Structure 1
């Protein structure tokens, strides 16, 4: 009988201790910052590539507005600057929310491509080279978007990709086959 009473007292003491400890920790749990959503490697790669792509599009879009020889390419450049600023604002906001650090600039390859385009500024060859570079970049971006939509892990990043897809697809059509269809 003594053993049963001892066990009962021990169980009551443990239950009381757990309840008090749990009650005391509730305010701490309520005020603790929520952890950011899980972000996969693919999600991080998408955010990084999208950001760098947007920076490149903005830079080359501005360049086209002054360096192109046709109104169509100048107009497409202006559209790309406007649209990619909006897209990049979404990328930056999502990355910040998820704690993903974005690079401060474009890739080395993008910088080389921008310089190559600049060397053609004011010449008819500029327009053809710009259209070709834009088409290739937008086709690659569509593939990246589709991969994120299909296999990305974070719902916020996947939503960002879904919302960017129609804009990037429209841009690809604007410069399809190295011809301006603005």
Structure 2
């Protein structure tokens, strides 16, 4: 009788062990696939760090890419806004410049705090493309300047607005979610004041059209 119980116990233990192994392997595989799916199309530039654990929830490559993009936006839109305040002849252009400066000053403060809290390295200068946009604005004059200012900024904000929706819906990190919420309000405000200028050419907002001067 004792032998029968011993054999029965051994079978049960073996079965449990095999079940545990079978459960662990798929979880590992699906976990990797899920991380890749989240960090793939939505991530833009994948920094190769994968998903990291933080006190505020998982931090994906897509989250980090978003944080850096918010910082990059401020690095060129702040000087563009200050320039519009000084050079705009239309009140609507000066108002748009004021909103850009106020909005990105606060958003920049927030994104720096988020970057420090989550250990995300942030850029300190605009991208090559953003520097080119600033150069175009500096060279433009009069009415040409104001139309270019509105078009460049409206197009850039439209792209960020689309990115925000995906990040806000998918992120599981509370700090990233809060940043996305703040950025959403700021970007929508900027889109509104730029459109209020009456100078937006909606037909040329497509990615297929390049603005060059």
For normalisation by structure 1, the TM-score amounts to: 0.75
C-alpha deviation, 1:180, in angstroms: 6.1
Give the equivalent residue in structure 1 for 2:192: 173
Q: Which residue of 2 aligns with 1:76?
A: 96
Alignment check: 8 A CA contact 2:137 2:149 kept:
yes
Q: Tell me what 2:113 maps to.
A: 93
Structure 1 alignment gaps of length 5 or more: 1-33
> Using the alignment, how far apart are the partners of 1:161 and 1:51 within structure 2?
12
Q: Which residue pairs with 1:144 in the alignment?
A: 163
- The equivalent of 1:112 in structure 2 is 132
Task: State whether residues 73 and 180 of structure 1, in contact with CA within 8 Å, keep that contact through their aligned partners in structure 2.
Answer: no
- The range that moved more, 35-44 or 64-73, is 35-44
Instruction: Summarize the alignment of residues 38-53 of structure 1 with structure 2, pairs less than 5 Å apart.
Output: 38-53=58-73
Aligned length: 147
What is the rounded CA distance, in whole Å, between the counterparts of 1:75 and 1:174 in structure 2? 7
Separation in structure 2 between the aligned mates of residue 173 and residue 96 of structure 1, nearest angstrom: 31
Q: Which has the larger radius of gyration?
A: 1
Q: Quick check: which one's helix share is greater?
A: 1
> Is 1:61 matched with 2:81?
yes
Structure 2: tracts of 5 or more residues without a match = 1-52, 201-213
1:128-158 CA deviation, whole Å, 9 max, x = no partner? 1101111111111111111111222322101
Indicate the larger mover: 103-112 or 161-170. 161-170
Contact 1:95–1:102 at 8 Å: present in 2 too? yes
